[in-house]
Amino acid sequence: MKQSIMLFSIVLASLFVFVSCNLISELQSGNPLIFKASLSNKTNLNDTVLFTGKSIRYFNSTTGEVSFIDLISAKRINSFHWLKCYFGSDSLFTATITSDIMSSVVNDLVLNHNLQDGKFYFQDGYPAYIDNLGTNGIRIQNKEKRAVAWSRFIEQLKKEGKYKEN
């Protein structure tokens, strides 16, 4: 009986050490990008992890296109209103989820689903074609407010080899 308890204790301790070492190495290798979707911008209580940085094939900085490795259902993304990006536990930015059939104007970061090509694009506002001083000024101010967080996002994508400039 004592031998079986001792053997069980050794196995349990070994398992604990193995899991702890894996967790430590994962934390040292950098925190992953996590994208949580929400129906409300006010609370994090009902946030759902929609995808992680590992799901991104690439981000094209010229076009703003986000290409995904596996097929993330457009219907699933479009069923939410906000997308919150985290670097580990640090909140980086929030984007409004839009599609080409919306009739409202958003003057801050959006993740737009282009229905013509089926792709997703990060844009500084929706619709992108608006060209008036007031709206453009607000969009520029909002872009400047998230510049540091956006830089962290871009640096992580570069580190993971998922950043394209053309």
* DSSP annotation of 108: S
For the CA atoms of 62, 120, 114, 110, the dihedral, rounded to the nearest 10 degrees, stands at -80
pLDDT in tens, the chain (166 residues): 656 555 545 544 454 444 334 334 333 444 589 999 987 666 666 788 998 999 999 999 999 999 998 777 778 888 899 999 999 989 999 999 999 888 899 999 999 999 999 999 999 999 988 888 888 999 999 999 999 999 999 999 999 999 999 8
Tell me whether strands 65-68 and 82-87 are parallel, antiparallel or unpaired.
unpaired
Q: Which helix (H) or strand (E) holds 112?
A: strand 110-113
| Predicted TM-score (pTM) of this structure | 0.76
For residues 56 and 42, give the distance between their C-alpha atoms in angstroms, rounded to a whole number.
26
Distance CA 161, CA 62 (A): 16
